[in-house]
């Protein structure tokens, strides 16, 4: 049970005791009352090696967790495990949280993420940089909306930031049609609020609010689903598009990921979902503040025709008078698939591991017992052994926005509009990488790594990058402009702030940057990075190969120390960004 004191013991299986083959060695976990809470078969390799990895993993070996276990991982984390956790679950957090995680362990790390203290009034800054992009005063547009969200992702709560990106990719609604448009401009900000405010909240509350999200209701034709009226031949005037997408994208998916069985039938859509989810109306007035979506009982199927049938031929079959509210409650309380669907989505997105059926079942049970509390689900996953398994390091092409935010947060790189507009280059980077926030290509999202449609390598991000130089050129521009920034405390940023200590050598700097970013470099890679930092090339003298000269990294004797720092450190960051540890997750 949650919060139980879990004790690892060893038991020999038999036909009458533990659920395993007779004679196999098992790890039996009990709670503080002695009740068995989990039984894991011990791999033969561990038996052969004297069972070195019981309970929360090996005492010192990195990534010693089991990919098929939700049991808590050990408290002490290696620096690479910390970088791994913060990259996958918290956009890199910040240097202070990294230090807490390394020095104080997993529980303190999670607490630091939950209790994150904003460095300043992030909401005020987000609004300020958003308004700077408006075409006219008070009229929201896409660039303003993206500036607002990028500010939250860079400086706001990192756990919420990652969770908001999962929701964004999961619901995949575009607000591009409302870019600065009179009566509908506020759809942009309201959609952002929906994502940000609900990212660690109650999923049931979120999906009901999603039905009234003005951008979504128009994109999916919810406002055209008027089953309470009749068409020209006397049939209910239903539109199936919105109800179908709501059910298969937000509630259950299309099929069970393990059995492959369809979750619903076409009859459910035509004669069930479209009836229950009818009555939404698109309305506008002369006042821009009042354009939007509402629900009209007179356009609702139930007010005219009464009860409707759903899930015929399944254990969830019923015949009732459903509106959008009662239908959502029925599906989430009675149908087994919504909780399993969310469990699969969040586990795979956070760990990078395709979950077993047993893991999905356990997480689904937790979701139902907590009334779909997203934060509780996220915390269970990121504290688990699966989060720190070798399988969780499996590579795929990472979300470009997440990768960039990881670098900016981990290295504490500032995001400002003046005196250099780094926001502009970040937006260009998003466009060139095929991950333009607030404008997914389809209702199925971006094809992100390990998304709700099953394991993926994220290759759609690569296919969108027709000119692969684009993302790296934009990243270079971001770094070039950062050196001119003045942070919120009035301090001019210099790359010298990334030195591990005054007078550090190029080799020590290379090791420090790689460690902070979780890059496990091979010996040749590490030597090449150190050599890059330690030397310069003069092609005027050496011709095509260039002549190599050592650089003086001693701040006491080097005439050009600041120039060396401000040119070489960004170059090293760019090298690591292009390395698989920067572009993959």
String of DSSP letters for 483-542: TT-B-TTSPBP-GGGG-SSTT--HHHHHHHHHHHTT----HHHHHHHHHHHHEEEEHHHH
Q: Which helix (H) or strand (E) holds 9?
A: strand 7-12
Q: With contact defined as beta carbons under 8 Å apart, do 456 and 447 qualify?
A: yes
**Does a structural domain hold residue 186?**
no
Q: How confident is the model at residue 342 (pLDDT cuts 50, 70, 90)?
A: very high
Q: Which helix (H) or strand (E) holds 206?
A: helix 203-211
Asked whether the predicted pLDDT for residue 530 surpasses 50, the reply is yes
**Does a structural domain hold residue 21?**
yes
Shortest CA distance to 499 belongs to which of 510, 483, 487, 485? 510
Residues 6+ away with beta carbon under 8 Å from 42: 24, 25, 26, 27, 51
**Does a structural domain hold residue 503?**
yes
- Tell me the pLDDT tens digit for each residue of 245-257: 899 888 998 888 8
Cα–Cα distance for residue pair 336/358, rounded to 1 Å:
14
Going by the DSSP 8-state scheme, the letter that residue 67 receives in this structure is T
292 - beta bridge partners?
283
**What is the residue-averaged pLDDT of the chain?**
83
Cα–Cα distance for residue pair 278/271, rounded to 1 Å:
12
Domains in the chain, number? 2
**Does a structural domain hold residue 193?**
no
401's tokens: 């926005």
**Does a structural domain hold residue 179?**
no
- Tell me the pLDDT tens digit for each residue of 94-132: 999 999 999 999 999 999 999 999 999 999 999 999 999
**Does a structural domain hold residue 562?**
yes
Q: With contact defined as beta carbons under 8 Å apart, do 573 and 479 qualify?
A: yes
Q: With contact defined as beta carbons under 8 Å apart, do 293 and 235 qualify?
A: no
Q: How confident is the model at residue 19 (pLDDT cuts 50, 70, 90)?
A: very low
User: Which of the residue ranges 89-93, 416-420, 539-543, 544-548 would you say has the lowest mean pLDDT?
Assistant: 539-543
| Residue 585: per-residue pLDDT | 59
Q: With contact defined as beta carbons under 8 Å apart, do 403 and 585 qualify?
A: yes
Q: With contact defined as beta carbons under 8 Å apart, do 323 and 302 qualify?
A: yes
Give pTM, 2 decimals.
0.85
| Residue 338: per-residue pLDDT | 95
Parallel, antiparallel or unpaired: strands 547-550 and 236-237: unpaired
Assign 41 to helix, strand or coil. strand
Shortest CA distance to 55 belongs to which of 33, 75, 34, 35? 75
Owning domain of residue 561: 496-585
Burial class (CB in 10 A: 0-12, 13-18, 19+), 229: middle
427's tokens: 């937006």
**Does a structural domain hold residue 196?**
no
Going by the DSSP 8-state scheme, the letter that residue 356 receives in this structure is P
**What's the angle, vertex CA 322, arms to CA 316 and CA 325, rounded to 5?**
100
Residue 161: CB atoms within 10 A of its CB come to 26
Parallel, antiparallel or unpaired: strands 25-30 and 7-12: antiparallel
Cα–Cα distance for residue pair 130/122, rounded to 1 Å:
12
Cα–Cα distance for residue pair 347/452, rounded to 1 Å:
10
**Does a structural domain hold residue 542?**
yes
């Amino acid at each position: 049970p949650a919060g139980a004191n879990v004790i690892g013991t060893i038991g020999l299986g038999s036909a009458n005791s533990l659920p395993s083959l007779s004679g196999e060695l098992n790890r039996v976990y009990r709670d503080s009352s002695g009740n068995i809470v989990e039984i894991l078969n011990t791999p033969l390799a561990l038996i052969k090696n004297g069972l070195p990895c019981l309970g929360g993993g090996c005492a010192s070996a990195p990534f010693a967790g089991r990919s098929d276990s939700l049991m808590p991982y050990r408290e002490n984390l290696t620096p690479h495990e910390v970088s791994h956790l913060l990259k996958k679950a918290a956009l890199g957090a910040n240097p202070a949280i990294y230090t807490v995680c390394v020095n104080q362990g997993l529980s303190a790390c999670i607490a630091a993420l939950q209790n994150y203290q904003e460095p300043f009034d992030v909401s005020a800054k987000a609004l300020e940089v958003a308004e700077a992009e408006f075409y006219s005063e008070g009229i929201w547009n896409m660039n303003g909306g993206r500036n607002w969200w990028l500010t939250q992702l860079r400086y706001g709560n990192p756990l919420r930031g990652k969770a908001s990106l999962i929701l964004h990719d999961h619901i995949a609604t575009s607000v591009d049609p409302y870019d600065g448009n009179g009566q509908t401009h506020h759809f942009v900000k309201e959609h952002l609020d929906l994502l940000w405010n609900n990212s660690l909240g109650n999923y049931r509350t979120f999906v009901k609010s999603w039905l009234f999200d003005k951008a979504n209701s128009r994109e999916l034709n919810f406002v055209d689903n008027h089953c309470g009226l009749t068409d020209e031949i006397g049939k209910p005037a239903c539109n199936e598009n919105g109800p179908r997408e709501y059910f298969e994208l937000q509630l259950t998916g299309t099929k069970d990921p393990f059995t492959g069985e369809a979750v619903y039938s076409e009859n459910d859509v035509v004669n069930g979902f479209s009836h229950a989810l009818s009555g939404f109306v698109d309305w506008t007035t002369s006042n821009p503040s009042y354009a939007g979506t509402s629900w009209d009982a007179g356009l609702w199927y139930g007010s005219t025709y009464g009860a409707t049938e759903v899930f015929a031929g399944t254990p969830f079959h019923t015949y009732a008078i459903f509106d959008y509210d009662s239908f959502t409650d029925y599906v989430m309380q009675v149908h087994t698939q919504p909780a399993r669907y969310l469990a699969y989505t969040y586990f795979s997105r956070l760990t990078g591991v395709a979950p077993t059926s047993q893991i999905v079942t356990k997480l689904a049970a937790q979701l139902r017992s907590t009334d779909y509390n997203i934060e509780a689900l996220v915390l269970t996953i990121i504290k688990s052994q699966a989060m720190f398994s070798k399988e969780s390091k499996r590579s795929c092409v990472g979300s470009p926005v997440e990768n960039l935010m990881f670098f900016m947060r981990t290295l504490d790189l500032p995001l400002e509009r003046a005196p250099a507009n780094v926001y502009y280059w970040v937006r260009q980077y998003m466009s060139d990488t095929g991950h333009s926030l607030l404008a997914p290509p389809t209702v199925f999202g971006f094809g992100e790594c390990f998304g709700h449609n099953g394991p993926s390598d994220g290759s759609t991000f690569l296919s969108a990058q027709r000119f692969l130089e684009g993302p790296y050129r934009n990243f270079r521009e971001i770094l070039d402009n950062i050196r001119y920034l003045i942070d919120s405390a009035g301090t001019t940023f210099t790359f010298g702030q990334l030195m591990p200590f005054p007078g550090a050598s190029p080799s020590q700097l290379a090791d420090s940057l790689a460690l902070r970013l979780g890059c496990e470099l091979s010996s040749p890679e590490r030597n090449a990075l150190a050599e890059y930092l330690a030397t310069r090339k003069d092609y005027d003298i050496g011709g095509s190969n260039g002549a190599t000269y050592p650089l003086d990294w001693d701040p006491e004797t080097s005439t050009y120390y600041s120039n060396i720092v401000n040119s070489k450190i960004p170059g090293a960051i760019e090298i690591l960004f292009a390395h698989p540890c920067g572009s993959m997750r």
